[in-house]
Amino acid sequence: CHQDPRTLQLVCNCLEGYSGNRCDECPSGFYGNPGRPGAQCLPCSCNNNIDATDPQSCNKVTGECLKCLYNTHGPSCQFCKPGYFGSALLQNCRRCTCNFSGVNPAICAPGHGVCLCDRMTGVCPCLPNVIGSTCDRCASGYWNMSHGIGCQFCDCNPRNSQSNQCNQFTGQCPCK
């Protein structure tokens, strides 16, 4: 440190991870209490999911991440937010794309814009007899996907139908 001859203030060239006139503060992206003997500034461990230049991005005392980016959350921004899937560690959290009609309304309410899906794969939990990773179609032998219910059995007449497969939208069975 040296004293500025014009301002008479003490000026220090701080090591990385320290700031302040006397290098006794932690800069943005770091936490700790370097003013205490033996204490030091440590980098915030937020998995590259914060703006390290934002002074409010992590708690200055505990290092807990406060402003997670890229649709992440958690004390270290280590998880994708609810309604998102992928890897927070790779910054690739993507919105779940469940079909509102094919999933339980409790986990995917229309108008709310958030559906819950498998946190890693994005596969949605389908209603009975609904299939597809986004729950977008009826299983073979079923039709009439209804919100909150699932798909209905085709119930084709075995004697007069070519098979038990019906049109997924009309329920029409193929006649012999």
**For residue 76, what are the contacts with CB-CB under 8 A and spacing of at least 6?**
45, 46, 47, 65
Burial of 91 (0-12, 13-18, 19+ CB in 10 A): middle
Amino acid at 151: C
- Is residue 164 one of the residues assigned to a domain? yes
Q: Give the span between the Cα atoms of 152 and 142, in whole angstroms.
A: 5
**Domains of the chain: total:** 1
Give the pLDDT confidence score for residue 92 in this predicted structure. 96
- Is residue 15 one of the residues assigned to a domain? no
Q: Give the span between the Cα atoms of 149 and 126, in whole angstroms.
A: 10
Give the pLDDT confidence score for residue 111 in this predicted structure. 65
Looking at residue 122, which CATH number applies to its domain? Answer: 2.170.300.10
- Is residue 8 one of the residues assigned to a domain? no
- Is residue 83 one of the residues assigned to a domain? no
- Is residue 74 one of the residues assigned to a domain? no
Under 8 Å between Cβ of 91 and 48: yes
- Is residue 112 one of the residues assigned to a domain? yes
Range of the domain at 131: 98-176
What does pTM read for this prediction? 0.77
- Is residue 93 one of the residues assigned to a domain? no
- Is residue 14 one of the residues assigned to a domain? no
Q: Give the span between the Cα atoms of 46 and 28, in whole angstroms.
A: 13
Give the pLDDT confidence score for residue 149 in this predicted structure. 92
pLDDT in tens, the chain (176 residues): 778 788 887 778 888 888 887 788 899 999 998 878 888 999 999 999 999 999 999 999 999 999 999 999 999 999 999 999 999 999 999 999 999 899 988 887 666 668 899 999 999 999 999 999 999 999 999 999 998 899 999 999 888 888 888 988 899 999 98
> Is the CA virtual torsion 161, 165, 169, 171 positive or negative?
positive
